[in-house]
Amino acid sequence: MSETIIVKTKLKELVKGYNVSGDFAEALDVKVKALIQDAMKRAEGNNRKTVMAKDI
């Protein structure tokens, strides 16, 4: 997972009325990727190939 998965235009739409620094989107991307990795490990630990909301 090396590509950015956070869509900056969507992020800016969500935080209307606030400025968004470039490093915020990058930091958010790192956190989201970590959440996904953790969810994948939990699913695998439960012998599933499907990542579910409960894995977060």
Question: Strands, E, within the chain: which ranges?
Answer: none
- According to the model, what pLDDT value does residue 22 have? 85
Q: Which residue has the tokens 């994948």?
A: 40
What is the chain's pLDDT, residue by residue, as a tens digit (56 residues)?
469 999 999 999 999 999 999 899 999 999 999 999 999 999 999 999 999 999 99
- According to the model, what pLDDT value does residue 25 have? 92
- According to the model, what pLDDT value does residue 6 have? 93
